Amino acid sequence: MIKVKGGVTAPKGFLASGVKAGIKVSGKKDLALIYSEVPAVAAGALTTNRCKAAPVKVSLTHLNAKTHQSIIVNSGNANCANGKTGQRDAHAMTSGVAKLLKIDERMVLVASTGIIGQALPVEKIEKALPALVHELAKDKGTDFADAIMTTDTKRKELAVKIKLGASEVTIGGSCKGVGMLYPEMKTAMHATMLAFITTDASISKKMLEESCDEAVWGSFNMVSVDGDMSTNDTCFIMANGLAGNKKITGKDANYKKFTEAFKYLAGELAKMLAADGEGATKLVEILVKGARTVEEARAMARKISISNLLKCAIFGSDPNWGRIVASAGASGVDFDIDKTDVYLGPVKALSNGSIDASFTKDKARRYFKDKNVYITVDLKSGRSFARAWTCDFSKEYVTINSEYST
Amino acid sequence: MIKVKGGVTAPKGFLASGVKAGIKVSGKKDLALIYSEVPAVAAGALTTNRCKAAPVKVSLTHLNAKTHQSIIVNSGNANCANGKTGQRDAHAMTSGVAKLLKIDERMVLVASTGIIGQALPVEKIEKALPALVHELAKDKGTDFADAIMTTDTKRKELAVKIKLGASEVTIGGSCKGVGMLYPEMKTAMHATMLAFITTDASISKKMLEESCDEAVWGSFNMVSVDGDMSTNDTCFIMANGLAGNKKITGKDANYKKFTEAFKYLAGELAKMLAADGEGATKLVEILVKGARTVEEARAMARKISISNLLKCAIFGSDPNWGRIVASAGASGVDFDIDKTDVYLGPVKALSNGSIDASFTKDKARRYFKDKNVYITVDLKSGRSFARAWTCDFSKEYVTINSEYST
C-alpha cells in the first residue's frame, strides 16, 4: 500500500466539484458534488440518532438502489428538524442533480451539515446546481473537500493505492467534522461527521457494505470531539470497478487486502478529524489493552475519550491522570483496578492500582506538552484491545460553540 | 414544611466541626466531622463507579452496622487509586475518630474528595483529630460546610422542619461538588458530590434506606456539571430519633411526609450544586414530559443535560436550540420527532418537529440571557416526566480544570 496524491478524485473515473451557493453567511464554498463516470455500487453508514436529518432519511431510501453515480453535499445548514419541507428540499437536491446528469434520482445520495432547525435555502442550491455540475473535473477534489467544511480549519483528504492481482486499485477519501462529533454509525454512521470514500475497485455491493462496516467500526466510530452525537453523520463509499481487478464477491484474500487499505484510510481520516477538533491543540490517542473482549476495550476507550476533565487537563498540561482512572471506572466495564496499569506515553503513572514508584508530576507535565498524547490503560485480564481518538479541550471550543449561530 | 436556619446541626442532638489539617495547599479548612449525641440509624448512597475510592469501600462495610454516630470527611485528596495504603489510611481516619469519641470504629462513616492518585497525608489528619473532636458544637455546622468544599464558591446548606403527629422533626443537610459531577448513586450515589443529611426523626434503618433511595433518585442523581462520574460520590443520612415522633417502621402517611421533605431538601441542595458548577454563570433545568415512562423521561433529560454544545450555547446566549433536538435523539429513547415540541422558557422553538411559526432568534437570545434557564421537551406520547439540572459551560470551566493539580 502506498499513499498517493489527492482525495475523492484519485481513483479512476471520479470527478468532483465545489462551489459557493450562498448558504454560508461567510460566503465560502458550501455546495459539493462527486460523480462517477460509470455506475458504481455504494454503501453508506449513517447516524443512529433517533432524530435523523432529512438528507439522512432520503439517502437511506436511495441506498436500496443497485447502483449510484453521484453524491451531493451542502454545508452551512443541516436540514434537520424541518419537517416535511426538509424532506422536500432534500429531494429537490437529489432530483436537481439527477436531471442535469441525466440519471435516475435514486442514483444520487445526499448529505448536509451545519445548523439544525433552520429552513434550507433550497432556491439558492437549485440556482447553483448548473455551475456545480459544469465544474465537475478530475482536479476539483480539493474544491469538494473545501466545500464540505464547517468549523474545520484544515482540508481533509487522503488516497492510497494497492495491488489486487495485476490491477492497481486506488481508494480516495475526504471528510469533515470537528464538533458535534461522537459518531456511532451503522452500515449506514454518526457525528456531524461526513466522510466520502471513492474507489475504482471492482467489488459487489454486498462485500462493499461489509467492508464499510469493518472499516467504520475501528475508525470514524472511535473518534470523539465533544461526545455530542449528530443528526447528520454520514459515510458513503462508491466503487466503480474501473481498476479492472477480478471482482470481489466473497471474503477472499483480495477482500482482506482491500478492507485493510480501507481501514487504514478511514483511520488516518479519523485522526485528522480529532486533530482538527474544535479548539484542539493536541491529538489524543487512548489505547485500552489487556481487556477480556474487544467490546469492553472499546467501551472503556470511548468513555475515557469523552472525559471533559481529562481533556482539560491535557490542554493545560496538568498531570491529573487520576481522571483516566475515574473515567475507566465509569465505563460500565467490570475490571480489577488493583491489576491495572496506566501509562502517559512512556511515563508509568499507575501500577497495579497504586501510583508507580517512578512517577513524578514533572515527567507527566513534560509529556502532556507533546502535540500527540498517547494514553495506555492495561487491564492485564485478556488479549483484547481498542483505540479511540480525541483532542484536548480548550477555551477556544467554548468560544466557537457559544457563538455558532450568531 | 418550613425552612429553618442552619444545615447538618439543625436537627436535635447533632454537633459538627471543621478545621485546617493542612491537606489543601490553599491552607483552607479541609477536615470535617458530624457527631450525633446518641446512636443513630444511617443510610448511604455511594458511587457506582467500578473504581471506588478507599473511603467508599470502608463506608460500604461500615454501613452494615446497626447504628452510627459520626461521619468524618476530608477535602483536598480523594484517597483513590492508592491501593492498600489508601485502605489503611481510610481506616486510620475512622478508628482515630472512634477512639477519641469512645465508640466502635464501625459507627464512623468516612468520605474524601479532591485529587485522585496522590497519597493521603494521613499523619496531618491524625494530628488534627483531637482539635476536630474538641471543636464539635451546635454552632459549627457552617465550619463543617466550609471544610468539605473543593472548587465550590459557595457554602451549601439547608434545613427544613415538618410535623409528624405532635412532634416537630427537622432535616438538615450540607453538600459540596461542582466538578466531576454526574452522580448515579445507589442506596449506596456518584459525582465528586458529597452530601450529608441529618435528622432527628425516629425511623427504622430499613425505612431510612428506602427514603434515601427515593430522595436521591430525583435529586442528586439528576444533577450534572460535566458528565464525569466520580470515584468518591457519597450521600449519607443519619437519623437519631430525638424528635420523639412515633417511629416510622412502614410506608405510612408519616413515611410519605418525611420522604417528601427529604426529597425537597435533596432537590434544593442538588440545584445549589448545579448553580455553583465549575465556571457556571447560569442554572439550567431540563424538563422532559409527555414520555411513555419515567425511565425514558429521565434518560432523555440526563442526556440533554450533558450536551457540551447546548451548555456552550446557553453560556453565550446563542439561540442554537437545535442542539436540544440532537441530544434528545442521541439519548437512546425511541420517540417521534414529528410530534415533539421544544420550549425555551416561554419561547416555543419546535412545534411537531418543525420550527414554530412564532419563533425568532431574538426571542431565544433574550431568554438565554436569564440567570435561570428552563428547557422543556414535550414528547406528547404519555404522562411521565423527569427533571435534570445542569449549568452552562464557560471558559472558566476549562481554566479551572486545566490547572487543577498544579
pLDDT (tens digit per residue) in A262-313 = 999 999 999 998 888 888 899 999 999 999 999 999 999 999 998 888 999 8
Contact: B329, A50; criterion CB under 8 Å: yes
Residue B92 to residue A68: CA distance in whole angstroms: 70
Q: Who wins on pLDDT, A170 or A46?
A: A170
Decide if A366 touches B, using CB distance below 8 A.
no
Q: Would you please indicate which residues of B are annotated as catalytic (active-site) residues?
A: 192
Please, which residues have CB within 8 angstroms of residue A269's CB and are 6 or more apart in sequence?
A156, A158, A173, A174, A175, A195, A219, A220
Residues in chain A: 406
Average pLDDT over residues A362-370: 91
Between chains, do B315 and A393 touch, taking CB under 8 Å as contact? no
- Residue A362 to chain B, least CA–CA distance (Å): 10
A194-199 and A234-239 strand pairing? parallel
* A9 in active site: no
Instruction: List the beta strands (DSSP E) in B9-105.
Output: 14-19, 31-46, 68-77
Alpha helices in A306-384 (DSSP H): 308-315, 322-329, 361-367
CB–CB contact B51 A227 (8 Å): no
- CB within 8 A of A147, min separation 6: which ones? A18, A19, A29, A30, A31, A32, A73, A75
Contact yes or no for B316 and A82 at CB 8 A: no
Residues A280 and A400: beta-carbon distance below 8 Å:
no
Q: Kindly indicate the confidence band of residue A129, based on its pLDDT and cuts at 50, 70 and 90.
A: very high
Q: Does B140 touch chain A (CB under 8 A)?
A: no
Q: What is the mean pLDDT of residues B208-218?
A: 92
CA A378 – CA A89 distance, rounded (Å): 50
For the record, the C-alpha cell of B242 comes out as 430525638
Closest residue in B to A51 (Cα) is: B329
- B384 pLDDT band (50/70/90 cuts)? very high
Residue B285 has phi, psi (to 5 degrees) of -115, 130
> Which segments of B221-290 does DSSP mark as H helices, in order?
253-275
Cell numbers representing residue B355 in the block: 420550527
- Exposure pattern of A174-200 as b/e (b: 16+ CB <10 Å)? bbbbbbbbbbbbebbbbbbbbbbbbbb
Could you tell me what percent of chain B has a pLDDT over 70? Answer: 96
A56 — phi, psi (to 5°)? -65, -45
Contact A342, A305 (CB under 8 A): no
Residue B403 main-chain phi, psi, to 5 deg: -135, 20
Report the distance separating Cα B221 and Cα B224, nearest Å.
8
CB contact under 8 A, B227 and A306: yes
Question: Which of B316, B330, B402 is nearest residue A312 as measured by Cβ atoms?
Answer: B402
pLDDT at B290: 97
Half-sphere exposure of B92 (CA within 13 A, CB side): 18
In a 13 Å sphere around the CA of B170, the CA atoms on its Cβ side amount to 19
Average pLDDT rounded to a whole number, residues B97-113: 97
**Interface membership of B60 toward A (CB under 8 Å):** no
Three-state secondary-structure class, residue A214: helix
CB contact burial B62-99 (16+ within 10 A = b; e otherwise): bbebebbbbbbbbbbbbbbbbbeebeebbbbbbebbbe
Length of chain B: 406
SS3 B387: strand
Is the pLDDT at B405 greater than 90? The verdict is no
Residue ranges of alpha helices (H) inside B102-167 are 122-134, 141-147
Give CB contacts under 8 A, 24+ apart, made by B24-29. B24/B75, B24/B76, B24/B114, B25/B76, B28/B146, B28/B149, B29/B143, B29/B146, B29/B147
Predicted confidence band at A229 (pLDDT cuts at 50, 70, 90)? confident
CATH architecture of B2-275: 4-Layer Sandwich (3.60)
Q: Closest to B81 (Cβ–Cβ): which among A325, A327, A397?
A: A325
Q: For residue A405, what pLDDT band results from cuts at 50, 70 and 90?
A: low
- Per the CB < 8 A criterion, the answer to whether B388 and B300 are in contact is no
8 Å CB contact of A231 and B405: no
Contact B224, B306 (CB under 8 A): yes
Q: What is the pLDDT of residue B13?
A: 97
Cβ distance B314 to B324 under 8 Å? no
Instruction: Encode pLDDT of B219-277 as tens digits.
Output: 888 888 877 788 888 899 999 999 999 999 999 999 999 999 999 999 999 999 888 88
Cα B247 from chain centroid?
27
A402/B312 touch (CB, cutoff 8 Å), yes or no = yes
Give the pLDDT mean for A153-180: 91
In the prediction, which pLDDT does B199 show?
Answer: 97
Interface contact A306, partner B, CB < 8 A? yes
Q: What is chain B's mean pLDDT, rounded? A: 92
Q: Which three cell numbers stand for residue B116?
A: 485522585
Residues from chain A that touch B394, judged by Cβ atoms under 8 A, are 398
Q: pLDDT digit string (tens) for B2-28?
A: 999 999 999 999 999 999 999 998 999
Residue A252: CB atoms within 10 A of its CB come to 12
d(CA B222, CA B390): 9
B152 falls in which pLDDT band (50, 70, 90)?
Answer: confident
Query: What are the residue ranges spanned by the domains of chain B?
Result: 2-275, 283-402
Question: What's the pLDDT score for residue A184?
Answer: 66
Poorest-confidence range of A45-59, A221-235, A247-261? A221-235
Contact of A56 with chain B, judged by CB distance below 8 Å, is answered with no
Q: Is B167 on the interface with A (CB under 8 A)?
A: no
Beta bridge partners of A108: A70
User: Of B308, B314, B359, B396, which to mutate for an interface test with A (greatest number of A Cβ within 10 Å)?
Assistant: B308
Q: Would the pLDDT of A189 be above 60?
A: no
Specify the DSSP class assigned to residue A365: H
Contact of A315 with A394, CB cutoff 8 Å:
yes
Instruction: Please give, rounded to a whole number of angstroms, the shortest distance from the CA of A238 to a CA of chain B.
Output: 28
Per CATH, which fold does B283-402 belong to?
Answer: Ubiquitin-like (UB roll) (3.10.20)
Handedness of CA A92, A96, A97, A99 (dihedral sign): positive
pLDDT at site B117: 86
Query: Is any Cβ of chain A less than 8 angstroms from the Cβ of B226?
Result: yes
Q: Which of A150, A192, A231, A234 is catalytic?
A: A192
Q: Is the pLDDT of residue B190 over 50?
A: no
Query: What are the DSSP E strand ranges found in B104-193?
Result: 108-115, 157-164, 167-176
Query: Does the pLDDT of residue B218 top 60, yes or no?
Result: yes
Query: Of B79, B73, B80, which Cα lies nearest the Cα of B31?
Result: B73
pLDDT at position B185, please?
61
A306-318 as b/e: b if 16+ CB within 10 A: bbbbbbbbbbbbb
Contacts of A325 in chain B (CB under 8 A): 51, 80-81, 116-117, 231
Q: Quick one: residue B388, left, alpha or beta (phi over 0 = left, psi -120 to 50 = alpha)? A: beta
Let me know: does A12 contact A78? Beta carbons within 8 Å. Answer: no
Chain B, residues 242-301, CB within 8 A of chain A, namely none
Across the strands, what pairs with B14?
Answer: B36
Residue B191 has pLDDT above 70, yes or no: no
Put simply, whether A179 touches B (Cβ < 8 Å) is: yes
- Could you report how far apart the first and last alpha carbons of chain B are, in Å? 45
